[in-house]
A and B are shown apart, each in its own frame.
Chain A
Amino acid sequence: MITPSVSARIPSGIEVPVAVTPQQCGDGPGAPGQYPFTRGIFPDGFRGRLWTVRQYSGFGTAEDTNQRYRFLLDQGQTGLSVALDLPTQCGYDPVDPMARPEVGKVGVSLSNLSEMEIVFDGIDLARTSTSFTINGTAAILLAMYVACADKRGIARDKLTGTIQNDILKEYVARGTWIWPVRPSMRLIADSILFANEVTPRFNPISIAGAHVRDAGCTAAEEMAYTLANGLAYVDELLRRGGEVERFAKRLSFFFYVHMDLFEEVAKFRAGRRLWARIMKERYGVEDPKAQMFRFGVVCGGSSLVAPQPYNNAVRVAVETLAAVLGGAQSIFTCAYDEPFQIPTEFSAELALRTQQIIAYESGAARTVDPLGGSYYVEWLTDRMEESIRAVMEEIDRYGGARKAIEDGWLQLRVARRALARKQQIDSGETPVVGLNCFTREDRTQAPGETFRLDPQASARVIEKYRAVRERRDNGAVERELARLQAAAAGDEENLMPYLVDCCHAYATVGEMVERLKREWGEFKEPIRL
Chain B
Amino acid sequence: MSATAQPGLRGKRILLAKPGLDGHDVGAKVIALALRDAGADVIYTGLRKSPAYIAQAAVDEDVDALGLSILSGSHVELVAQTFDELAARGAGDMAVFVGGTIPAADREALEALGVKGVFNSDMRLADVVAQVARALA
Contact = CB atoms under 8 A, between A and B. Distances in A.
A86 B103 contact: no
B83 to A, nearest CB: 14
In this complex, the member of B24, B29, B121 whose beta carbon has the largest number of chain A beta carbons within 10 angstroms is B29
Contacts of B21: 86-87, 89-90, 92, 98-99, 102, 176
B100 to A, nearest CB: 10
A422 B23 CA distance: 19
Given A339-B101, A340-B103, A529 B33 contact: yes
B73 A342 contact: yes
A511 to B, nearest CB: 18
Contacts, number: 108
A102 B74 contact: yes
Contacts of A214: 26
A200 interface: no
Contacts of B77: 100-101
Interface in B1-48: 20-26, 29-30, 32-34, 36, 42, 44-48
Contacts of B36: 529
Contacts of A418: 26, 29-30
A306 interface: yes
Nearest to B127: A426
B47 A175 contact: yes
B131 interface: no
Nearest to B42: A529
Interface in A68-103: 86-87, 89-90, 92, 97-102
Contact of B20 (A89, A101, A174): A101
A423 B104 CA distance: 24
A445 B101 CA distance: 14
A18 interface: no
B48 A90 contact: yes
B66 to A, nearest CB: 17
A416 B120 CA distance: 19
Interface string A167-209: 0001001111000000000000000000000000000000000
B26 A105 contact: no
Interface in B54-82: 72-74, 77-78, 81
B29 A176 contact: no
A201 to B, nearest CB: 30
A342 B73 CA distance: 9
Nearest to A434: B122
B23 A176 contact: yes
Interface in B102-119: 102-105
Nearest to B73: A105
Given A419-B34, A527-B46, A86 B20 contact: yes
A98 B48 contact: yes
A491 to B, nearest CB: 27
A206 to B, nearest CB: 17
8 contacts: A86-B21, A174-B24, A305-B122, A306-B120, A415-B30, A418-B29, A422-B30, A445-B104
Per CB-CB distance, the 4 closest pairs between chain A and chain B, nearest first, are A175-B23, A86-B21, A101-B77, A415-B29
Interface of A: 86-87, 89-90, 92, 97-102, 105-106, 170, 173-176, 214-216, 302, 305-307, 339-342, 414-416, 418-419, 422-423, 426, 435, 445-446, 450, 453, 525, 527, 529
Given A339-B101, A340-B120, A446-B103, 14 more contacts: A86-B72, A87-B21, A98-B20, A98-B50, A102-B20, A105-B74, A106-B73, A173-B26, A214-B26, A215-B24, A215-B25, A302-B121, A422-B125, A529-B44
